[in-house]
Amino acid sequence: MSKRKATSTITESLKTAIEQSGLTRYQISKDTGIAQAALAERLRLELERKVL
């Protein structure tokens, strides 16, 4: 499995988990200690990869 495929899978899992949780990225950030910007950046990078 290539790294790009694995990253895509992790990002899709993250996106799905965020959507299904019913929580905002802000609340997830507060609960997990992961910066809200880091969550947004991960999702943005994946979107750019799909567009390109």
What is the tens place of the pLDDT at every residue in 9-48? 788 888 888 889 999 889 999 999 999 999 888 888 777 7
Could you tell me which residue, 16 or 49, shows the higher pLDDT?
16
- pLDDT at residue 5 in the model: 57
According to DSSP, residue 5 is labeled H
- pLDDT at residue 7 in the model: 56
According to DSSP, residue 22 is labeled T
Judged against a pLDDT cut of 70, whether residue 4 lies above it is answered with no
Radius of gyration of the chain (CA): 12
Phi then psi for residue 35, to 5 deg, are -60, 140
Confidence of residue 1 (pLDDT cuts 50, 70, 90): low
